[in-house]
Amino acid sequence: MKAIRVYEYGNPEVLQLEEVADPVAGAGEVLIEVAGAGVNPIDWKVLSGAMKAFIPLPLTFTPGVEVSGKVIATGPGVNEFKLGDEVFGFINIVGGYASKAVAPVAKLAHKPQSLNALEAGAVPATALTAWQALTEHAGVQRRQKVLIHAAAGGVGSMAVQIAKYLGAEVIATASAGNHAYLKQLGADHVIDYTAQAFEERASEVDVVLDLVGGDTQNRSFRVLKRGGLLVSPVSAPSMTLANDYGVTPINFATRSDGAQLALIAELFDRGHLSVDVEVFALSEAQRALEKSLSRRGHGRLVLDPTK
C-alpha cells in the first residue's frame, strides 16, 4: 500500500511517500481502504516533535488522525461492521495518511450518506472536538450567547453549525474574507478580528470557545458574563483570570467516540451540518500540511489516497 512516512521530526519537507506492507486488523479492529484522510493541525504539531514529550512515537510513523473508507477486512470479534461498509472515524494519533489503515471499531461510525468519501474523511476529529466542547463541556442551551474564535477553521466551522443546531446565538471571529462563509453556516454576528477588537463588539457572553489561545484567550475573559464558561482544546485558561472574572475555565482533549460520530453523521444527513473541503493527492501531503500551517482559507483539507 501507499503511505506517507516520517523518519525524523521536522517540517513538512521530511514527509516521504512509500510503498509499505498492508497493516493487519487485530481483535476488535477493521482494515479500511482509505478514500479520504483529513489534514489537521495536530498532524504538523506531531511532525515537528513538539508533542513527543506527551505523545511518544516510534520513528518511523505515518501521520494522520482521521479517515473515511470501506471496510476490507475484520479482526477477531468484530460484529459492528462488515466487509464493504463505508465508515469514518478519528482512528488514532497517527496512521491516516495511507491507502489503508487499521482502526478499532469503537472509534468508527457509518459514513453519512449525504457526504462523499473525501468530505467524510475531513469530519471526525474536528466535529468531535466541536461537539464535545459545546455539549459535554459547555452544555450550551437555547438562546445562550456563544463566541467562537477562529470560526472559519475546521473546528470553528463545525462549532458554528453545532451551536446553531443547539439554539444558541452565535458570534464568530474571522478575517473579512470568511464572513460570507460563516453567515452561510449560520453565524448571527461576525467580527473581523483584524480590524476591531472582539471585546468591543461582544459582551455578556455565556460561552467562549477559544481555538486560538494566547492573548486572544486571555482577552476572552472580558466578554463573559459572571458564571460563564471559557472552553479551549488549545491550552489551559488562566485560573487567576477565571477567578477575577467569576467564570469557569475548561481545557480538554478530544476523545475518539464512535457513538458520538454516529450522532454527528445523522446531523449531516438531516441537513444540520455541512463541510467544505479542499482536496490534495496523497503525494501532495507536504503541500497540504504547509497550507494547514499557514492557517489561510476556510473549511477542511483532505488527502485523496487514490492519487
Render pLDDT for 135-169 as a digit per residue (tens, 0 to 9).
999 999 999 999 999 999 999 999 999 999 999 99
The pLDDT of residue 298 is 81
Which of the listed residues 236, 251, 266 is the one where a domain comes to its end?
Answer: 251
High-pLDDT (> 90) share of the chain, %: 94
The pLDDT of residue 102 is 98
Q: Are residue 192 and residue 118 in the same domain, yes or no?
A: no
Q: Is residue 266 part of a domain?
A: no
Supply φ then ψ for residue 227, to 5 degrees.
90, 0
Q: How many CB atoms lie within 10 A of CB 292?
A: 21
Q: Place 97 in a pLDDT band, splitting at 50, 70 and 90.
A: very high
Q: What is the mean pLDDT of residues 175-194?
A: 96
Q: SS3 sequence, the chain? A: CEEEEECCCCCHHHCEEEECCCCCCCCCEEEEEEEEEEECHHHHHHHHCCCCCCCCCCCCECCCCEEEEEEEEECCCCCCCCCCCEEEEECCCCCCCECEEEEEHHHEEECCCCCCHHHHHCCHHHHHHHHHHHHHHCCCCCCCEEEECCCCCHHHHHHHHHHHHCCCEEEEEECHHHHHHHHHHCCCEEEECCCCCHHHCCCCEEEEECCCCHHHHHHHHHHEEEEEEEEECCCCCCHHHHHHHCCEEEECCCCCCHHHHHHHHHHHHCCCCCCCEEEEEHHHHHHHHHHHHHCCCCCEEEEECCC
Q: Domain total for the chain?
A: 2
Q: Is residue 10 part of a domain?
A: yes
Domain that holds residue 67: 2-123+275-304
Q: Is residue 218 part of a domain?
A: yes
pLDDT higher than 90, residue 296: no
Q: Is residue 71 part of a domain?
A: yes
All cell numbers assigned to 5: 512516512
Q: Place 294 in a pLDDT band, splitting at 50, 70 and 90.
A: confident
Q: Are residue 38 and residue 154 in the same domain, yes or no?
A: no
**CATH code assigned at 132:** 3.40.50.720
Put simply, whether the predicted model's pTM sits higher than 0.75 gets the answer yes
Render pLDDT for 195-234 as a digit per residue (tens, 0 to 9).
999 999 999 999 999 999 999 999 999 999 999 999 999 9
All cell numbers assigned to 83: 466487509
Q: Is residue 265 part of a domain?
A: no
Q: Is residue 269 part of a domain?
A: no
pLDDT, the chain, mean: 96
Locus of grid cell 461537539: 131
The pLDDT of residue 55 is 83
Q: Place 57 in a pLDDT band, splitting at 50, 70 and 90.
A: confident
Q: Is residue 256 part of a domain?
A: no
Q: Are residue 130 and residue 247 in the same domain, yes or no?
A: yes
Q: Are residue 48 and residue 70 in the same domain, yes or no?
A: yes
The pLDDT of residue 51 is 85
Q: Is residue 95 part of a domain?
A: yes
